[in-house]
Chain A
């Protein structure tokens, strides 16, 4: 970026702290020589700062208002319950205590009054125990209610579920922690028609996030998408895996994670041929059992590098191709990424290489998810 660009673009980059040293230098010298520019620039950054903070402030205020309302409602209900449960209890104890003291008192004076006193005590005792039982029952009921309430809260905090029925579903995996991900192009563009209404991902917690198409390559069968939500993160840290830049060798052991149904499924195999159907060198042929819905799944080598994206399965009609699948090479993915303006930076540190397979899978779960496409 040159600072002779649009002043707002520079101001936004300045506020975000993404200007380079040389750009900052250029900016400083321009501000020194051009007082009008300096004033405008200062106002621009201040305005961006203010309006951003103001928006954040508003959203927080609304949220706190909602929380206050919810808490007030809860308080009201809890208060009611408290009254039912506990108000009668001390009263009964008190009566029992009085009865007991009466019993002691009377026993010292006359023997005949002892019996009825004990009897009274007994009946009080049963009263109390029933009361305790009732309280216990209510507490259990209360707990169930609380649990239910928690479920409801959890449910409410989930992002809104998608609007209509799923048309297609596939698998996707993260390219960057801030929301870029990849899936098979045919998952979203069936027969090269872009007639989908919306695309959501559903992560392993069952939460939905809406995504938009960034770019795609129909020939290679790759689509790069991004989660719409601002400040979205797939997981706590950077991606645990890397994307391989060169083609993997024949016979390499590979595994994949995908969503043929609601649950994540693991499968393993090896590279059966270096090229795909009809010698397509953008692809691999894999010996790997895969099912529909696993399109877009990452194909990962033993070191934890993604070498490809699952794209098709061999049909039974092809006879000896049964049990084989095809994957697009990660090289094609990297080439497609070059087409994104402000190309997202890929993770270069692999955290999977020394882990057991179980651990590798556990680490991958946050970054692999179901992709759901909805009708227009």
Chain B
């Protein structure tokens, strides 16, 4: 089989779909640069791995919106986000807010990467998911496991029906709807507080 030629946009949609090969490729192509930069800037390889993974999560989150297009290459974007995340971390550690503004040169703004905004959106997303998770933890069984199996572990209703002992997928689906109903009540009552 021929290996296809990817454009960044194609790579991005594959990344958004959670394609392992493409994600691996993006990782391989960009991690070394960020790792090298970070080591020069007082971090370790472990820090670099953490940062880069978070940067990938930021990109993944952005790419979920099918209208999202990059104004620069994937590599540049990930580098900008990683740098920003690192400065934020340093800032938190040293509690010197002025440093951040000084160190973030114009180079990122020139490329039109709104790192700060993207990172904030990413954090809001994470917080939202955490709230949803905590509601999910509270709805009780079998709902918790059933919804996790379907939404988190991507199992089909057929597999779920078999695993949870429902006579057919239709029954499992009815149960899933009931569980969603419970989750909705709990989640929105938690939100209201």
**A-side interface residues toward B, CB under 8 Å?**
6, 8-9, 40, 43-44, 47-48, 50-61, 63-65, 67-68, 70-72, 75, 157, 212, 228, 230-231
Contacts and interface: CB of A to CB of B under 8 A. Distances in A.
26 contacts: A8-B181, A48-B180, A50-B128, A51-B136, A51-B151, A52-B151, A53-B64, A55-B153, A57-B57, A57-B129, A59-B18, A59-B154, A60-B18, A60-B60, A63-B18, A64-B53, A64-B57, A67-B24, A68-B27, A68-B52, A71-B28, A72-B49, A75-B45, A212-B158, A228-B156, A230-B156
A72 B52 CA distance: 12
A44 B147 contact: no
A281 to B, nearest CB: 33
B75 interface: no
Given A50-B132, A67-B23, A71-B31, A61 B183 contact: no
Interface residues of B, number: 40
- The secondary-structure label for the interface of chain B is helix
Given A54-B132, A59-B154, A63-B20, A68 B177 contact: no
Nearest to A214: B158
Contacts of A57: 57, 60-61, 125, 129
Contacts, number: 87
Q: Which of A6, A67, A70, A72 has the most CB of B within 10 A?
A: A67
A64 B27 contact: yes
Which of B64, B176, B180, B188 has its CB near the most chain A CB atoms (within 10 A)?
B180
A86 B184 CA distance: 61
Contacts of B136: 51
A72 B28 CA distance: 10
A139 to B, nearest CB: 20
Task: Label chain A's interface by main secondary structure.
Answer: helix
Interface in B11-53: 17-18, 20-21, 23-24, 27-28, 31, 45, 49, 52-53
Nearest to B183: A47
B70 interface: no
Nearest to B18: A60
Given A64-B23, A64-B57, A67-B23, A51 B154 contact: no
The 3 closest A-B CB pairs, nearest first, are A55-B151, A8-B177, A54-B129
B142 to A, nearest CB: 16
Nearest to A56: B18
Contacts of A59: 18, 152-154
Contacts of B90: none
Contact of B147 (A40, A51, A72): A51
B166 interface: no
B187 interface: yes
A65 B53 contact: yes
B27 A47 contact: no
B89 to A, nearest CB: 17
Contacts of B28: 71
A117 B97 CA distance: 64
A228 B161 CA distance: 13
A80 to B, nearest CB: 15
A230 B154 contact: yes
Contact of A228 (B61, B133, B158): B158
Contact of A8 (B24, B158, B180): B180
B129 A47 contact: no
